[in-house]
Amino acid sequence: MTKYLPLLLVLAGPAGCIDATHDKAVDALGGEAPGVRPGPLHRPGQPCVTCHGGEGPGNSEFSLAGTVYLVSGQATPAPNVIVQLEDSTGVAGTIPTNDVGTFYVDANVWRPKYPVQVTVIYGTLDKQMQTVIGRAGSCADCHTDPPGMLSPGRVYVALSQMQLKNAKP
Amino acid sequence: MTARNLLSLVVLAALSSAPAACSTPPSDERIGIIAPNASEAAFGPVADFLDHRCGSLDCHGQPGRNLRIFGCEGMRLLNTDAPICSRAQGGRPTSPDEHTATYRSLVGLEPAVMSEVVANHGRDPELLTFIRKARGTEAHKGGALFVPGDEQDVCVTSWLSGQTNLDACNGAFSYPTFPPLPGQ
């Protein structure tokens, strides 16, 4: 048995690589909302790439993902908004938000070369993000609610209900 | 004098000088540096450019970074402000106090090296780690951002030389550049 010990230790090595910071970030997100199964509609507004960044526990890996809301300061999600992304090499694409306002980019399809600039498009309204994304894959890494010295608040398409109404497709 | 006496004398001299060697400097002693110009006119445009290019919330707009950049495009100094520049969208432009906070963070990174670069009128700015990182000659998570001689580089290095090039700082705001999308 002892002659196999080195082999066992080598095989057990990867399991010993625990990233406490990552685990803590995952734990901080809490459990699933009651009645919502894991899938494209779960956990809107949370930093998707924390779990879907390749380190788990999410199975699918996203390079960019987030949730868009209709009006600044309000929590109504924005389905069918077009999110336009372009990276520094000029590779660009658009992706629609789903029923809970969430979009995600499969990391196997595209890994952007940062920085990335983002525009959200809703009807006749298009709004480009004030800054570029330097490296964060999740919108909610920076766009948390409420706004504060380290967050501009949620991602939104309109400043007011009036602006939203005028932009309606 | 015998060898034994000589040895005793050396040991005695060493022991008597030991306390002086181990004494700490007075707590009010300060060491000055030759600092770059901190005025709004000289550093304000540089600070605004650094906020734009390097200070986003996912880069140097974070309290945990060694180089902390403050401004309306990233981390704010006051908890009553949010990272929004436009007043129409409920924000507030970068304040002079935020420029000062950025200045202190930047100069405090390597004060002795900064002093040397400034004393030499900005010659050899790559002695400073932040210049090497921005130029990509030292590992930088954000990659190589400046090309020596481009407007971004001139904006910062001209400030280090004592004569901020305002045209370069204005032009530097066009970075990062993105290829035009079809139809644009």
For chain B, the domains span 40-172
Q: Which residues of A touch B143 (CB under 8 A)?
A: 114
Separation of alpha carbons A142 and B75, rounded Å: 10
pLDDT of A17 > 90? The answer is: no
Minimal Cβ distance to A92: which of B73, B84, B181: B181
Would you place residue B30 in the very low, low, confident or very high pLDDT band (cuts 50, 70, 90)?
confident
pLDDT on residue B4: 72
The encoded tokens of residue A19 equal: 């990233």
What does the mean pLDDT of chain A come to? 92
Identify which has the larger pLDDT, B21 or A54. A54
What CA–CA distance (Å, rounded) separates B77 from B75?
Answer: 7
Average pLDDT of the segment spanning A40-64: 96
Q: A-side interface with B, Cβ within 8 Å?
A: 72, 86, 88-90, 92, 114-115, 117, 130-136, 141-142, 147-153, 159
Distance from CA of B88 to the nearest CA of A (A): 9
Mean pLDDT of chain B: 92
Residue-wise pLDDT for A150-167, tens only, equals 999 999 999 999 999 998
**Alpha-carbon separation of residue A6 from A11, A17, A158, A161 (angstroms):** 9, 17, 61, 66
pLDDT-derived band at A77 (thresholds 50, 70, 90) equals very high
In sequence order, which residues have a C-beta less than 8 Å from that of residue A162 and are 6 or more positions away?
A: none
pLDDT band at B24 (very low <50, low <70, confident <90, very high): confident
Which among A90, A132, A152 is the nearest to B179, CB-wise?
A90
Q: Could you please report the per-residue DSSP string of B111-163?
A: HHHHHHHHHTTT-SGGGSHHHHHHHTSS--TT-----TTSHHHHHHHHHHHT-
In CATH, which superfamily holds the domain spanning A2-167?
Immunoglobulins (2.60.40.10)
Question: B-chain residues within 8 Å CB-CB of A150?
Answer: 57, 61-63, 75-76, 83
Q: Which of B49, B56, B65, B79 to mutate to test the interface with A (most CBs of A within 10 A)?
A: B56
Calculate mean pLDDT across residues B23-41: 89
Neighbours of A90 (CB within 10 A): 12
Taking phi over 0 as left and psi of -120 to 50 as alpha, with beta for the rest, B143 belongs to left
Residue A61 CA to residue A107 CA, distance in Å, equals 6
Predicted TM-score (pTM) of the model is: 0.86
Domain boundaries, chain A: 2-167
Q: Whose CA is closest to A151, among A41, A45, A33, A26?
A: A45
- Say yes or no to pLDDT of B183 above 80: no
Q: Measured between alpha carbons, how far is B65 from A108 in angstroms, rounded to an integer?
A: 31
B82/A131 touch (CB, cutoff 8 Å), yes or no: no
* Contacts with A152 from chain B: Cβ below 8 Å: 82-84, 91
The one-character DSSP state at A148 is: B
